[in-house]
Amino acid sequence: MNMELIRKQLEEITPPEMRFKQHVLEQIRNRRQNRRRHMLISAAIVLLVVIIGTAQFQQIATMAETMYRSIKLSLYNETLVIDNNVYRIPIEVEGLEWVGKQPNRVGHKSYTNIHAAQDELKIKLLHNARSNESVLNFLFFEKENRAELILRHFFIGDLKNFTEIILENGDRRQSYSSDQETVYKSPLDMKVSFFTGKGAEYEMDNLDTYNYEEKYISPINGITAYLLKDTFQATSDESSLLMYAAGSITEKLAVFVHDHLLYIISGNLPSSEMKNIIDAFVVEQ
């Protein structure tokens, strides 16, 4: 078909005249304006949701990073879980000596007293009038985001003639005496652990020889401590008894959490005396 002929036929076509009443035009105009306004409002709502959602996500992320773990104790024949909101404590420590390779390195250093450790680590340890001043060993487990302060021979009790000698190689040798009436059968150590990053439930290891004995709530300071007892006596042999007599087996543990710090007291003494030690901690209101 000739294209010129088609063009002339199209030009001769007159479209029908569309007549709209004024109120119809106004309605069309209003709908367009309402639709545009609705689109603007929708866009504003979406933006607001994004802003609020971002803020909520940041808050949740912070909480997830802050609220750290419950403490799980896998004991000889049961599992004990300490439900406590343990918060992370970020630290900056100078002068660490590292052992191993990343990411499994362990950093360590020593503090001459509690005040020096508290100042650098920005933590506050519980004060106990029964304690003995001692050197603090600090360990940082890089992969676990976990730090430990070890206070050896922190409670001497009624032991006689306690002395400690530092050998040339850096090892420490202690000596003390006791008799049949001595309540403390060995000095008591205290370990304070805390977490420097987020994580899941923390499981304490090396407790498979201990069993849950009692939950003790101090009427003096309100500390809730879990008392554990070594189970070796049920299957004791001559070598175990000799180790026990030498004080190299820890009979009792007391475990509690305070101010996001995990305390573990270990030594050989009756449960009644361990409770007295728990009562002697000073909790500031």
Question: What is the C-alpha to C-alpha distance for residues 84 and 82, in angstroms, rounded to an integer?
Answer: 6
Predicted pLDDT at 236: 54
Q: Which is more confidently placed, 71 or 237?
A: 71
Sign of the dihedral defined by the CA atoms of residues 61, 65, 70, 74, in that order: positive
For β-strands 202-204 and 71-74, DSSP reports them as parallel
Q: Which of 84, 61, 52 is nearest to 71 (CA)?
A: 84
Predicted pLDDT at 105: 93
Sign of the dihedral defined by the CA atoms of residues 265, 267, 270, 276, in that order: negative
**Each residue's pLDDT tens digit, 11-42:** 555 554 445 455 544 554 554 454 444 444 44
pLDDT classification of 162: cutoffs 50, 70, 90:
confident
Q: Is 141 left (phi over 0), alpha (psi -120 to 50) or beta?
A: beta
Supply the pTM of this predicted model: 0.71
Task: Look at residue 196 and tell me whether its pLDDT is greater than 60.
Answer: yes
- Write the CA distances from 86 to 8, 82, 94, integer angstroms: 87, 10, 25
Count of all residues that appear for the chain in the document: 285
What residues pair up with 174 in beta bridges, in sequence order?
Answer: 164
The mean per-residue pLDDT over the stretch 132-141 comes to 90
Question: What is the C-alpha to C-alpha distance for residues 56 and 117, in angstroms, rounded to an integer?
Answer: 36
The mean per-residue pLDDT over the stretch 145-158 comes to 93
